[in-house]
A = this chain, B = another copy of it.
Amino acid sequence: MRGAIGIFDSGVGGLTVLTALRKRLPGQDYLYLGDTARLPYGSKSETTIRRYALKAAAHLFNHDVRLLVVACNTASAHALPALAKISPVPVLGVIEPGVRAALTSGARRIAVIGTEGTIRSRAYQDSLRRRAPEVSVTAAPCPLFVPLAEEGWSDHPITDQVAEIYLRPLLDSGIETIILGCTHYPLLRPSLARVAGPGISLIDSADAVTDAVVQRFRGAPTGRGGAGQVVLHLTDASDRFRRITRTILGGDPEHLEVVDL
């Protein structure tokens, strides 16, 4: 996979980034690594998250990727500087592209939702304050959203009610934009949009990082293979992960391999 775009996520949620990238850069090769044996990262401590992210990145570097996309918000929030320090190739996280997209929308009151790890890291909040001190920023962890998405309840009355509980305080405080700070959350878009209402824009960090990658590769040569090959490496491939993979990709992956980091 020399020259492939490497994408790393704690699980299979980052496949939303892979799907978006393939659509816009179909000639590139992709190597996706999902650390499904140790997910979720979002509930774990900074030390553990960083250790896992460094191991996962080393695996992709060993496969000579040309770029490392950290599709996992929690890993982006906690491990990006550590990853950039050891990386032989450029590293792109989801935080900065998400923040840029939110600010481009012109919103003055922005909310960030994500896992406990992402919200606790203050990565989004600090980046927003640094770039736009005049913008008001609120944040809320939404720990049940990932399990709800993985249960396939993307468009379900229970998800609507949970979203109402998590989002109501943000909505009542007059926010205009919500950054979906977790790659799973776009899967819940129907519920989230319904609860947020038509006046609120939802920023998908998967879209935002895709834009950033596309900008970087516009006109650049494709990978060695250049055939748009897609390889999935998972550290665990239970029926559950295979099922979610199929849901996100819209079919079975061409090449799926279970790897031990």
Is B238 within 8 A of A44, CB to CB?
yes
Give the residues in chain B near A148, CB-CB below 8 Å. 144
Of the stretches A35-43, A189-197, A214-222, the one at the interface is: A35-43
Give the residues in chain B near A140, CB-CB below 8 Å. none
Q: Which residue of B lies closest to A52 (CB)?
A: B37
How many A residues touch the partner, as a band?
A: 20 to 34
Give the residues in chain B near A37, CB-CB below 8 Å. 38, 44, 48
Give the residues in chain B near A254, CB-CB below 8 Å. none
Main secondary structure of the interface of A (DSSP, over half): helix
Q: How near does chain B come to A117, taking the closest CB pair, in angstroms?
A: 7
| Contact status of A43 and B116, CB under 8 A, knowing A38-B37, A148-B144 | no
Give the number of copies in the complex.
2
Report which of B45, B120, B162, B236 forms a contact with A44, defined as CB distance below 8 A.
Answer: B236
Give A37 to B51 CA distance when docked, in angstroms.
11
Q: How near does chain B come to A234, taking the closest CB pair, in angstroms?
A: 10
Query: Could you list some 20 contacts between A and B, CB below 8 A?
Result: A37-B44, A37-B48, A38-B38, A43-B150, A43-B238, A43-B240, A43-B241, A44-B236, A44-B238, A48-B235, A48-B236, A48-B238, A116-B238, A117-B238, A143-B147, A143-B150, A143-B151, A144-B144, A146-B147, A147-B147
